Structure 1
């Protein structure tokens, strides 16, 4: 009987829940002065996870036939089963994940989905569950099409994507400090704490999935500094534990910005430019009024954006 890779994350759910239980117990015992878990936040994360899983299952119904068509008609090579094929698949998908993740902080259409993952003011293992049901609409699945082009089957693609996401569960923790030489090779809790922080020096850094090499290679790596502990979440807090508001608040804001733009160029920019483009556009048109709006709305910080 062959295991369906689409069910991997659900199959691992008992492991994830056991790890969350251990982390909550450990942090309550060792750091009782810090509220690193709260029931409303954790339940919101769980609801978002279930919504994401449902949307993901529906998305694969569309994505898998696309991957299959590309693999049948457009693949460049065939791979024999073995460690070479697995290594190429693993490295290629991890690079594509880096591209997707970085784009998700620099393209507002993608950020509208990804902001859900960053919108909690806490970081713990349950935060890994905090995913958006809108990823399929944003187009996350499109980033894996090159894997079919280089010769990998749809099931191999689905499997490696889910393995990558399963690994990332374990980096959403404050219970593990730096890991020595592993920091140079793999995404680690320390590295990922930086990614979730809203401190100015940490925003839009450390996009790694599994391998740390891409951030170091492409200049997006920042080390966690003990003198500047990460402050988590988005600069303008979401201030709700409603999973529907968490899922759609940025889509609503983006639609409003698009609707108020005067022409098709600026409407497209409101959708696909960096997330802080509208704030900078307003500032250029009316400096004093727009500066007040930027301060009030925390647009730049909320979008997790900075100029490259």
Structure 2
């Protein structure tokens, strides 16, 4: 069981599911938009992520084993309660990792490539990071080994989470039953997460359970009257996997070269994506605030019932 790798076991299913979605979409039976170059980029990013993961896997597992040697408790892998507990704890850690990866630029640089596709289909799930290991987000999972969960157990649960998240990258599935939408992450919830509409920016960070977003104020339901527009705020005009993987790191480098103070350098690196000292760029919060102000101004005046002419769907989005 220690050698179980849910992601490796699921790879054939991933490929078959993508092919099936393409075929069903061509037959007009499901909704799925595929663009050949975009799909190739996603597949290339997935392959590159696997190779990059091998380069850092030894360091990560060695660190986990070292922490486990200093564990506080002995938690058996054979206990059902232990799997339930590691599922809940790992899923909560994933939520905070995912939120950190959106709200702090250093970690956004390693995660942004997952959001660069302007299409949303099963192949998008494979558009994974090449630099996550270097960015060090794996450190967030080390406390699980310190508590006493065997590193192999943590790795298996992380794999289960990734496998689950594959199927939610689709437009072929509408909304699930209400009870399921209330508890679990679904295609509807994750479409919102991948959307660049101001209302939808930086929402629904869940891995498996959407309850964390509901608890911590980051939940946003998908609205019938506001279709998701996918991609990043300033979309890339390229399908080059190298640029997709490293464009934000390069942008950070340019900003650091032009920084006028240590404070500016620190905020360019660890501030919110879109931060700039002169306010010439916008963070997601600023984009959402501008959209909300326009939406409020577009409502009928209580006194006259007149419209201002502004639309609540702000199209002139700025880089973030």
Q: TM-score, normalised by structure 2?
A: 0.85
Separation (CA, whole Å) in 1 of partners of 2:88 and 2:227: 31
Residue-pair matches, total? 285
Q: CA deviation at 1:225?
A: 0.3
Structure 2 residue 32 is matched with structure 1 residue 69:
no
Per the alignment, residue 231 of structure 2 pairs with 233
Query: Structure 1: 5+ residue runs without aligned partners?
Result: 286-297, 304-308
Q: Give matches, 1:61-210, under 5 Å.
A: 61-73=58-70, 75-80=71-76, 81-180=78-177, 181-210=179-208
Runs of 4+ in 1 over 4 A off after TM superposition: 298-302
Query: Structure 2: 5+ residue runs without aligned partners?
Result: 282-314
Per the alignment, residue 253 of structure 1 pairs with 251
1:198-241 deviations in whole A, cap 9, x for unaligned?
00100000000000100000010000001101000012111111
Instruction: Identify which of 49, 54, 71 aligns with 1:52.
Output: 49
Q: CA deviation at 1:167?
A: 0.6
1:40-97 deviations in whole A, cap 9, x for unaligned?
1111111100110111122211011111111112x22111321100011111000000
Q: Which moved more, 1:208-217 or 1:230-239?
A: 230-239
| Structure with the larger helix share | 1
1:156-182 deviations in whole A, cap 9, x for unaligned?
121111111111001000000000220
CA contact 1:275–1:300 (8 Å) conserved in 2:
no
Q: CA deviation at 1:284?
A: 7.6
Matched residue SS, 2:200: coil
Q: CA deviation at 1:124?
A: 0.2
RMSD in angstroms over aligned alpha carbons?
2.0
Q: TM-score, normalised by structure 1?
A: 0.88
Greater C-alpha radius of gyration = 2
